[in-house]
Copies of this chain bind each other. A is one copy, B any other.
Amino acid sequence: MREEPEPTTGSGPDLELVEHQAARSRRYQSLGYRTKRVLLGPALSTAQLVHERISKRVALAVFSSDPISSTAYATEEMLLVLIAAGGAAIGLALPLAAGVAMLLLILVLSYRQVIAAYPQGGGAYMVTRDNLGNLMASVCASALLVDYVLTVAVSVSAGTAALASAVEPLRDYRVAISAAFILVLLLGNLRGVRESGRIFAVPTYVYIASLGGVICYGSYRVLSGLGPIQYTPEQTSELAGAGGQLAAVSLFLLLHAFAAGTTALTGVEAIADGVPAFRKPEARNAQRTLVAMALIMAFLFLGVTFLAIQLGARPFEGGHPTLVAQIAEHVLGSGIGRALFVFVQISTLFILVLAANTAFSGFPVLASFAAKDALMPRQLRKRGHRLVYSNGVIALAGGALFLVLAFRADVHALIPLYAIGVVTSFTLAQAGMTRRHLHLRQPGWRKGLVINGFGATVTLVVLVVITVTKFTHGAWMVVVAVPVLVWLLRRTQRAYGSEIAELKVEATQRLAPPKPRHEVVVLIEDLDQAALAALQYARQLNPLHLIALHVAVDPDRARELCALWTRVRIPVPLEVVDAPGRNLLATARAAVEELVRSDTEVTVVVPKRSFTGFWRRLLHDNSSAGLFKALGSLDGVNVTIVPFRLGRRARLRLVRSEA
């Protein structure tokens, strides 16, 4: 959702810009690169990074798919908690849902402030970093990253459940289907799906219309006397929770159910993050869209909860069929209603997959921000083949795949982990805004202070409630994971910080003069044309000292080499180093190390025989690569590879001699 500012390809003062034809650089393509081309299509040019602006109607659909899609499972999760206190406790769901809607209202008010203050977008991470400092920023980043991974896992699993509710035979394959969806999302996002494309608006509106239709038609039928859902005895045994009696309802249970309902709120921040994508005036359009989204969400969430209570719908232990599917099926009836029911389920699948897709645009951008602040590895900043932050995309898909496999694509099992991260980011963002109001005291800061201060307090309370009530159900994993991630991020930042300090060039620094001595060592395995080329190159360097060095791994060969050396009259002295342990690399390294002095530049020249074709490469152990690695890790030793290519000429000669 968040877009990068437009890049400027202008040139600096000393800049001599050389254009190379793409055809030229295409000559060198590794196997990996060619695979990429086939899977992902041709590489996109950096200049193709464009910045699209979208209308409110499209924005609503694109940014709201995540929160709106959560209405497909939030009610069910709430009921699942309540049902523990007996079937009659279900009646409490409606006031709890209203409470979640209230929380949504508070968030909308708070985020309107964020939008006004940060029209350039950036979201909770930016707000936290600007106002609460680096440590809190890394907490926020960690919490959000965890939640993005959970968004993908939960949405894909819930989408699969919606599909399986309509097409029963698919139930046994939910893990495989969920994994397949993640892989499709991975591939699509590596290819660079246009996130703001209009096409993505369709599923959201179709879902709103179809679920809204079910709610309206269902309410009408309930008022016209539609009876509750009748479960068969077999079904009843598979229903979750105790019997029909109302047991004692504890406060803890109510808070737990409320916490389960808050999963509906994930993704609310997306609009605030994506302000620059709106048409002008961006901030106002974004604020209006935010309100529209909240109204739609509240309607759908409350509507589903209302119908569930009226129709006596109860969640199944295994999650199949889903609560929404039961309601839709009961309301729509058979005949043409059956077809409509399947349509509702498929539209649910679509919006859930779309919701997962929004995480695929959120996670890599957030990771690239964190990487820019040196909190995460540099590789996350690199735009890939198709201009997306490929490494972030892959990391997200990997994490989500892991969760789906570990939790067997079970929404009920994943939900307790969910929402903690996003509510943490809410709290931090509102706290950051509160601090900002106090600090800047811009016009209207008092009103903002009240709104954000209240928002911060409420979200903090909600965070505590969620963490405590869900702790034993799996939330502890997040409580462990986030601090570990924070530690990793801080560790990374320190590592980069010390490196930058060490590598930094001051404007006053000048290039040091060449060292007084230059020693060149040519490593010789055999006296062949490749060795001659390396010796010739070494003489080109015109060093103070030039020697050839042979590591005598095989004493017989060493003797042969010495004899040939004299016969060809090579004007470079040959030194033979005994290697009783036959360890070429360690011996060469020790011999070269002896030459290192602070006033001496040491160059080791290694002849490299390049063999073309798989066959020839198989017949040689590539000792030059090993030498390069062993010697390259020596302080103050420069390693030069002098290539000698074989194969083409050789083949010609062979053909001639055979003819």
Chain A residues within CB distance 8 Å of chain B: 7-20, 22, 24-30, 33, 43-47, 377-379, 382-385, 491-492, 494-499, 501-507, 509-515, 518, 526-532, 535-537, 539-542, 553-556, 558-559, 561-583, 585-587, 589-591, 593, 601, 603, 608-611, 615-616, 618-621, 628, 630, 632-646, 649-651, 653-654
Contact = CB atoms under 8 A, between A and B. Distances in A.
Assembly of this chain: how many copies? 2
Nearest to A655: B498
Given A537-B638, A641-B628, A643-B633, A586 B511 contact: no
Contacts of A529: 502-505
A515 B506 CA distance: 38
Contact of A587 (B20, B496, B575, B609): B20
B610 A632 contact: yes
Nearest to A504: B528
Contacts of A635: 643, 645
Given A20-B577, A511-B532, 6 more contacts: A25-B589, A28-B585, A378-B620, A383-B554, A501-B650, A518-B540
Contact of A566 (B13, B26, B601, B621): B13
Contacts of A565: 12, 14
Given A26-B586, A28-B630, A555-B46, A567 B507 contact: yes
Q: What are the 3 closest A-B residue pairs judged by CB atoms, nearest first?
A: A12-B562, A45-B580, A503-B528
A17 B576 contact: yes
Contacts of A532: 505, 509, 511-512
A496 to B, nearest CB: 7
Given A13-B563, A630-B28, A632-B608, A503 B530 contact: yes
A150 B558 CA distance: 37
A533 to B, nearest CB: 9
A554 to B, nearest CB: 8
A593 B27 CA distance: 11
A316 to B, nearest CB: 45
Nearest to A615: B495
A581 B9 contact: no
B643 A634 contact: yes
A373 to B, nearest CB: 14
B527 A505 contact: yes
A603 B603 CA distance: 13
Contacts of A639: 640-641
Contact of A583 (B43, B507, B511): B43
B580 A46 contact: yes
Nearest to A562: B12
24 contacts: A8-B555, A9-B578, A15-B558, A16-B574, A16-B576, A20-B587, A26-B586, A27-B586, A45-B580, A46-B555, A378-B619, A382-B553, A495-B619, A502-B649, A502-B650, A504-B529, A505-B529, A507-B564, A511-B536, A514-B539, A537-B601, A542-B542, A633-B643, A638-B641
